[in-house]
Amino acid sequence: MGAQIRLIRTICLAAVVVSSAANSAFAHETETQEGVASFYSDRFQGATTASGEPFDQQALTAAHPSLPFGTKVLVTRPDTGQEVEVLINDRGPFIQGRIIDLSKRAAAKLGMIRRGTAPVMVTLLD
């Protein structure tokens, strides 16, 4: 019985640590995260996102490593001033140094289709 209790305590502690780490990207609602954005390849069209929704290149959606699904963020290119509001519905990007992965429509609104990536600021709207 003691081993089961220790196991349960360990699992609970791990859940708290993971939850804290997942929410640490934005400590406050007005906080902004800076980094590099990329966008989804066309091969993901129709694939199931981590939230369970089918991916749609024409929707204004994005993947973020830790923000809750349904969170709205403003993505701004500081170098051009272009911006787009997107809804987080997936996890990623899974490439070091990138902070958000955008749908193709969102990337087009930021003028980043030709170059593939762009420096961005991600600001919470919710």
The whole model's pTM is what?
0.76
Query: What digits encode the pLDDT tens for the residues 62-84?
Result: 999 999 999 999 999 999 999 99
CATH code assigned at 114: 2.40.40.10
Q: In terms of residue numbers, what domain contains 51? A: 29-124
CA pair distance 52, 62, nearest whole angstrom:
14
CA atoms within 13 A on the CB side of 121: 13
**5 within some domain:** no
Give the mean pLDDT of 1-18. 44
Q: How many domains is the chain built from?
A: 1
**9 within some domain:** no
Which run of H or of E encompasses 14?
helix 2-22
Q: Average per-residue pLDDT in the chain?
A: 84
* 35 phi/psi in degrees, rounded to 5: 175, -150
